[in-house]
Copies of this chain bind each other. A is one copy, B any other.
């Protein structure tokens, strides 16, 4: 019998998954969260399936020591490469960011042309295409890797002529194809939403998987009778943050994304798990 008051475990390769945490905080504010960001080994987007799976497995082991009641894989690359395998290895309910994003994109598109911007790993896995076609078999899904978006976000250039120029180069081929729906398939990308939206124009609906993931998580916990019914008490350590490196730097970036006020992040040696 799982404990309703237990925290939800959320992990990502670094800070990007905090856009998912932000949505969970908004949509199910009673839930406790344990977050792990693999800041020592970030980024995952350019790594192989084998490596991302090995890293994800270590993180799941760590989250289990925190007695979480469910796990959110808040990283597109880990959802694409590792989720299928690691969810077999535990009894815990587990949810990634890809399926919820794919589902809403399939339901949204009118002309069947869907773009996915993501890391190299997520694009090469063709996972969005696979899930979208399960719902909408005739959909035309075009992926585009945008390797400079993460470093640009981490350098703080959210609204900047350089970011505009790079975004134009990446997005031109999706505009030419005439997509009407674009999935922001990397957890950093919602932070570039206004830049991407400006270039794509009003005719293109932007899908943020973070939002959809929080919605599906709420549903999943509800069905499993695992929603926390009472608000955690003060001093209950509602939100806990762990990283594999650079706690201070993480805290600074995290506080720019989440308005909650993150007071501390603890470093753990993830290779030991």
Binding site for B on A (CB under 8 A): 39-41, 46-48, 50-51, 147-148, 150-152, 154-155, 161-162, 165-166, 244-246, 249, 271
In the complex, are the beta carbons of B165 and A48 less than 8 A apart? no
Q: Chain B nearest CB: distance from A263 CB in Å?
A: 20
Kindly identify which residue among B46, B152, B162 contacts A165, using a CB–CB cutoff of 8 Å: B162
For A41, list chain B residues within 8 Å (CB). 40-41
A152→B50 CA distance, assembly (Å): 26
Return chain B residues, CB-CB under 8 Å to A40: 41, 47, 51
Complex CA distance for A148 and B152, rounded to whole angstroms = 7
What's the least CB distance linking A53 to chain B, in Å? 12
Would you call A246 and B165 a contact (CB within 8 A)?
A: no
Closest to A46 in B: B246
The CA-CA distance from A166 to B162 in the complex, in Å, is: 8
Decide if A155 touches B162 in the complex (CB within 8 Å).
no
Q: A46-B249, A47-B246, A51-B245 are in contact. List 10 more A-B contacts (CB 8 A).
A: A40-B41, A40-B51, A47-B245, A48-B245, A147-B154, A148-B148, A148-B155, A150-B151, A162-B166, A271-B271
A48 in contact with B246 (CB, 8 Å): yes
| Chain B residues in 8 Å Cβ range of A150 | 151
Among B47, B51, B151, B246, the residue within 8 A (CB) of A148 is: B151
CB distance from A82 to the nearest CB of B (A): 14
When C-beta atoms are compared, the residue in chain B nearest to A157 turns out to be: B148
Residue of B nearest to A271 (CB): B271
CA gap between A128 and B245 in the complex, in Å: 24
- A155 adjacent to B165 (CB under 8 Å): no
The residue on B at minimum CB distance from A248 is B48
- What is the minimal beta-carbon distance from A67 to any residue of chain B, in angstroms? 26
Smallest CB–CB gap between A165 and chain B, Å?
A: 6
CB distance from A170 to the nearest CB of B (A): 10
Q: List 24 A-B contacts (CB under 8 A).
A: A39-B47, A40-B41, A40-B51, A41-B41, A46-B246, A46-B249, A47-B245, A47-B246, A48-B245, A48-B246, A51-B244, A51-B245, A147-B151, A147-B154, A147-B155, A148-B148, A148-B151, A148-B152, A150-B151, A151-B151, A161-B165, A162-B165, A162-B166, A271-B271
